[in-house]
Amino acid sequence: MRLIADELGGERGGESVFSGIGFTLGVGEPLTVTGPNGSGKSTLLRVVAGFLPVAEGRIALEGGGEDYPTVASACHYLGHSNAMKTALTVVENLAFWRDFLGETDRDLPVSEALEQVGLGGIGHLPFAYLSTGQRRRAAIAKLLVAHRPLWLLDEPTAGLDKASEARFAGLMQAHCAAGGMIVAATHLPLGLEGARELRMGFKERTVIAGGIC
């Protein structure tokens, strides 16, 4: 299975944010996307996931077979928000996503996923009672309760402490070792060994007589 981006360009509100991005990601390979604020890291992830239309070039998943015909069907998207309901408990939230997203026998049970992110004892609490870092860890547990080969992570370690960062790095290594792929947009080092880096920069604009061409 390979994720291929070819001369990929994305835009927001009709204005080009990035263009000419190309990478190929094979099985077991992580890719970190770095760059200054506003360089289009999040937009790139959203274009890859298919939330935003591809402005130019192409993004494709090859060799996904019947299980994963498209990028969207093969990926987990962990955005800035955690996609959890504050009124439900952590276990209820995860059990819902496990039911809704999961289908393979590689899905972890909810309790085991919580153990893996170090939230073993607090599954019964409403999500609203959790701290920022704990919420992020619960959202990371969501990646484990339903198996997807491709993880699209947008600032995944925001709010995590050192120990949790290390634990998450271990989870990502394990995911790659099991044949997964990761595209992570980040400012912080993720502790991923052998990760390739995609640097994004501001797209050059030429200003002529006050107008943007």
Partner 1 sequence: MLALYLRDLSLSIRAGGGALTGIIFFLAVVVAVPFGVGPDLNLLSRIGPAILWIAALLACLLGLDRLFQADREDGSLDLLVLSADRHFLALTVLVKCLAHWTGSVLPLVIAAPLLGLFMNIAPVGIGAAMLTLAVGTPAITFIGAVGAAVAVALPRGGLLISVLVLPLTIPVLIFGVSASYGAVHDPDPFMQPFLILAALTLFLAVIGPVAAALALRHGAD
Nearest approach, Cβ of residue 45 and partner 1 (Å): 11
Nearest approach, Cβ of residue 139 and partner 1 (Å): 9
Nearest approach, Cβ of residue 117 and partner 1 (Å): 18
Nearest approach, Cβ of residue 97 and partner 1 (Å): 7
CA pair distance 175, 177, nearest whole angstrom: 5
Nearer to partner 1, 129 or 197 (CB): 129
Contacting positions for partner 1 (CB under 8 A): 12, 46, 49-52, 69-70, 72-73, 75, 77, 79-88, 92, 95-97, 99-101, 103
CA pair distance 79, 73, nearest whole angstrom: 17
Nearer to partner 1, 149 or 195 (CB): 149
Alpha-helical runs (H) found in the chain:
41-49, 71-74, 90-101, 110-116, 132-145, 162-177
Nearer to partner 1, 42 or 164 (CB): 42
Contact 80, 125 (CB under 8 A): no
Nearest approach, Cβ of residue 141 and partner 1 (Å): 14
Contact 147, 115 (CB under 8 A): no
Angle between helices 132-145 and 90-101 (to 10 degrees): 30
Contact 118, 167 (CB under 8 A): yes
Nearer to partner 1, 82 or 195 (CB): 82
Nearer to partner 1, 31 or 84 (CB): 84
